[in-house]
Amino acid sequence: MIVIGIDPGITGALSVHENSDLKEVTDMPVMPQGKKNKQQVNAAQLGHIIKTIQERNDNYCAVVEQVQPMPMEGVTSSFNFGQTFGIIKGALGALKIPVYFVQPRKWKKHFNLIGAEKDASRTKAIELYPSYSNFLSRKKDINRAEAILIGRFFIDGEV
């Protein structure tokens, strides 16, 4: 079975697991938006990436972190985050990929990350998949690590 783990957001990432083996991890595809060149998810490229994954196997699903607005976050930020989440759901829906949503608290508890430093996700992903440590070597690779752990959470039978 192919499992696509998705950490949503402009700086999010996607992981691809085949059974318990990690096959790849990639950053969320983005493109410039508007005059100030802010980033937005490139929906066409995201759809292409997911369709390519889908074509490898006829048994697949996606696991997406169930996100919600953060308290004290601005209206614009909340809107942009929601728009990104909607693009992800739309791409998966258009490709008829079964989707499971998981609360951050649930998958983090599974990996003993509740209350841990944010960087602990990177450490845990490297422990599970040491051959992918070069993809997780920078602080900003936390989103890749979280996508990996979200996918692994499903594989471990927790969803």
Position 118 scores a pLDDT of: 83
pLDDT tens for each residue of 41-79: 999 999 999 999 988 888 999 999 998 766 666 776 777
d(CA 94, CA 90): 6
State the total domains in the chain: 1
Which residues form the domain of 40? 2-155
The pLDDT averaged over each successive group of 10 residues in the chain (159 residues) is: 94 94 96 82 95 89 85 71 89 96 96 93 97 95 97 88
pTM of the model: 0.92
- Domain with residue 25: its CATH number is 3.30.420.10
